[in-house]
Structure 1
């Protein structure tokens, strides 16, 4: 029996929940709901609400973008961000939970994010991107709009608004980019994280932590890091009130860990130096002295623990059915006593839904957004294989079939490279597993060396070996499935997005085992990429230094250097507004393959950044990928006409 192919349109048009938040008493859960792709210039987004474990319902509606729901500490109001009054301006709105209309708070608008209540409920804080100056706006209207790179930086600023009066005040953070912040439990202080970079490379820049009193005293510098930390949370440490943060290392992004920062001395201690995974996020547990909640990635699964910063003790606060199966990509929301959790969870064959967990008991499902796919998706299994001296893990998903004959196999490589495939549902334009499986392909999603979820040593394996070992891991995974009789050696495909696109391009210039490839938003020339990438330091950390001093190392790890070895038919897809990996990276690969008479197709998508936004482009992309692998790996099977048209 074979499965009916899924329609690209149905995948892209599905509505998905995101970022659940829970009220302090655990009785309310709110979250964002939106389709995958935009039908206009932006996607409408609504807020849904569940009360007392009941199925969630829409709480806001219309064409506006409503986002970042946040419950007041007393549970009577919901604050959120919206452009409902002006599609070009986002404002803060307050909505009574017992009924009434949403009203705008204060006179602050623009590019807003990171909305957070003070614990006493008196104020709301928010980050706002500095608007263009009146002079710049006036010149733009006259088309006198020359841009000096780094000449007019627009920083994120932190504002606090009085909930009763709407009066606002700004924290003076200087000429620095402000990334995140946290209120102290008594609302008397705010800790905030900054870097001195804006524009290109800002996310990778040196970072600082500052403390400021709520009443507006001069901010106090606490500590400096070689890279911007994230997720600040106040907690009682061994020496009194401290700050827990997640910090990345700089050199090849050693696995993210949780650190404790002393508020007096600024001393910083790694609390999980030997942890064989990654800390993905941190949440406060204000009613449990000395504890925070940490979201972890371990192998292909995720965990949520109550973590004592004084003893290092970890206790799971989710049932095994949510941690031993499936995964949750976003850090769950937890009540201050740690007894109730709102989590977005999915399994390989179960689309993402919102669940409520109380006292680590069986989860209560609050949504049914994936019901149209019930029984239409197939489960993955975790497999492993040997590569050099390493055991490599990945997820294998097989199509329904009538016999045990070897299958056409597609290996989809993840981006990052500091990222990982988890055991969740791959059902969108970016993650092709379920779509390709429904079209009769086996799909392997490997986590080669350099991936997260296995600790620092495993991630550091890429240092001074870009492309090398990770490519061998991918090849070894495909060969293992050939050896097991699962994959047909004459029908092997490979593809990926971002770094996955890079490793695809590099792999097909070093081996001819793959008969079709899809290079999505990938790098082809590490030297030229360094000059156009908006975060060049991300790749710099894997090399001995800047490319201007180490041309040989960068060139050796570039697909273009080895391009004359390539015979693999290749589909190149790229967004024309991609600042992360410039579209010229795809153009270089296309020109080279075209000159060498290798079958190649290059599709450029107007307006699209590194992550595609527009519905029609997502549908077209997913359909083209399926058709490309169908053409080269299943030549005896004509693509279904419906499935092949970009609008299907």
Structure 2
């Protein structure tokens, strides 16, 4: 039986004593509308440290702001929180986009992507575990992508280098043509490949390690750091993903071995621990 009053709700049942319940939900200051929802930040890409003690994650605006002076990417920063619960700590404080935190194998550092220097041009930075000054690792031209279900960069097992995917940047010829007002885009005629690169964590030396003429859709470096398993195609366009194949090539060699080349596309290769 339920009895209502202005102050409280009293619940009664035949086999239990009375239970009094006062509503603890505060009145909303305004209605939850689509406009309110887009103002709420997104929390994503949680990464647990190797020792299981900390979780790094991204807090970002849902959308980039409009206007000529607005940044090309939604503002985002990286935070950490103890895995057992506790206060969060803001690890980066950028007005641009700091995303994709990835722990080093020993858990002492976080690599992440940021366009803090040049709007829209992401580079790799490394940050101490508990925050501090980030050190810029790369100085490349061309997009370092961040697809939803794939990580564009990963640490080598020994922590010596970071591998990452990068799309070919604009050539001097492209820039010269644009300076004259020739900005047309010809469909599937300008082959701009996505390639695999590595950067030495100590020196910052950066080089491309994937064979020429291959579009690298996904890649994973072997535990010994000597070989790469990759999903590739001969051309860099979206439709070519459906014609992909799985290959292995050496970090120091252009020799390519095909492991899988069937009618159905390959995806997400992973090395065994040994």
Contact 1:106/1:165 (CA < 8 Å) preserved in 2?
Answer: no
The whole-number CA distance in structure 2 between the counterparts of 1:106 and 1:16 is 27
C-alpha distance after superposition, 1:582-618 (max 9, x if no partner): xxxxxxxxxxxxxxxxxxxxxxxxxxxxxxxxxxxxx
- Counterpart in the other structure of 2:265: 228
- Counterpart in the other structure of 1:190: 228
Contact 1:77/1:95 (CA < 8 Å) preserved in 2?
Answer: yes
- TM-score normalised per structure 2: 0.78
- Counterpart in the other structure of 2:74: 43
Structure-to-structure mapping, 1:597-612, within 5 angstroms: none
- Counterpart in the other structure of 2:256: 219
The whole-number CA distance in structure 2 between the counterparts of 1:109 and 1:96 is 25
**Cα distance change of structure 1 residues 12 and 95 upon mapping to structure 2, 3 Å threshold:** same
Gaps of 5+ in 1: 236-285, 290-648
The whole-number CA distance in structure 1 between the counterparts of 2:49 and 2:143 is 26
**Cα distance change of structure 1 residues 145 and 16 upon mapping to structure 2, 3 Å threshold:** closer
Structure-to-structure mapping, 1:487-526, within 5 angstroms: none
SS at match of 1:110: coil
- Counterpart in the other structure of 2:183: 145
- Counterpart in the other structure of 1:100: 132
Question: Aligned-pair distance for 1:226?
Answer: 2.6
- Counterpart in the other structure of 1:56: 88
Does residue 1:27 correspond to 2:53, yes or no?
Answer: yes
- TM-score normalised per structure 1: 0.34
Question: Aligned-pair distance for 1:5?
Answer: 4.4
- Counterpart in the other structure of 2:143: 111
Does residue 1:161 correspond to 2:199, yes or no?
Answer: yes
Structure-to-structure mapping, 1:162-561, within 5 angstroms: 162-203=200-241, 205-216=242-253, 218-235=255-272, 286=273
Question: Aligned-pair distance for 1:176?
Answer: 2.7
The whole-number CA distance in structure 1 between the counterparts of 2:161 and 2:44 is 25
Contact 2:92/2:131 (CA < 8 Å) preserved in 1?
Answer: no
The whole-number CA distance in structure 2 between the counterparts of 1:158 and 1:200 is 18
Contact 1:91/1:110 (CA < 8 Å) preserved in 2?
Answer: no
The whole-number CA distance in structure 2 between the counterparts of 1:82 and 1:109 is 13
Contact 1:77/1:97 (CA < 8 Å) preserved in 2?
Answer: yes
Number of residue equivalences: 234
Contact 1:66/1:81 (CA < 8 Å) preserved in 2?
Answer: yes
Question: Aligned-pair distance for 1:217?
Answer: 5.1
Contact 2:73/2:120 (CA < 8 Å) preserved in 1?
Answer: no
The whole-number CA distance in structure 2 between the counterparts of 1:116 and 1:81 is 12
Question: Aligned-pair distance for 1:201?
Answer: 2.0
**Cα distance change of structure 1 residues 222 and 107 upon mapping to structure 2, 3 Å threshold:** same
- Counterpart in the other structure of 2:24: none
- Counterpart in the other structure of 1:9: 35
**Cα distance change of structure 1 residues 60 and 200 upon mapping to structure 2, 3 Å threshold:** same
The whole-number CA distance in structure 2 between the counterparts of 1:227 and 1:167 is 37
The whole-number CA distance in structure 1 between the counterparts of 2:64 and 2:107 is 33
**Cα distance change of structure 1 residues 99 and 150 upon mapping to structure 2, 3 Å threshold:** closer
SS at match of 2:187: coil
Contact 2:214/2:233 (CA < 8 Å) preserved in 1?
Answer: yes
C-alpha distance after superposition, 1:142-194 (max 9, x if no partner): 11233332211111010011111111221233323211111222323221111
- Counterpart in the other structure of 1:127: 165
**Cα distance change of structure 1 residues 192 and 7 upon mapping to structure 2, 3 Å threshold:** same
SS at match of 1:225: coil
Contact 2:98/2:114 (CA < 8 Å) preserved in 1?
Answer: yes
The whole-number CA distance in structure 2 between the counterparts of 1:170 and 1:179 is 15
The whole-number CA distance in structure 2 between the counterparts of 1:210 and 1:182 is 11
C-alpha distance after superposition, 1:520-552 (max 9, x if no partner): xxxxxxxxxxxxxxxxxxxxxxxxxxxxxxxxx
The whole-number CA distance in structure 2 between the counterparts of 1:168 and 1:62 is 25
Question: Aligned-pair distance for 1:51?
Answer: 3.2
Q: Which has the higher helix share?
A: 1
The whole-number CA distance in structure 1 between the counterparts of 2:87 and 2:270 is 31
The whole-number CA distance in structure 2 between the counterparts of 1:163 and 1:213 is 20
Question: Aligned-pair distance for 1:80?
Answer: 0.6
C-alpha distance after superposition, 1:422-461 (max 9, x if no partner): xxxxxxxxxxxxxxxxxxxxxxxxxxxxxxxxxxxxxxxx
Question: Aligned-pair distance for 1:134?
Answer: 0.9
Contact 2:156/2:162 (CA < 8 Å) preserved in 1?
Answer: yes
The whole-number CA distance in structure 1 between the counterparts of 2:108 and 2:137 is 16
The whole-number CA distance in structure 1 between the counterparts of 2:253 and 2:132 is 34
Question: Aligned-pair distance for 1:200?
Answer: 4.6
**Cα distance change of structure 1 residues 124 and 151 upon mapping to structure 2, 3 Å threshold:** same
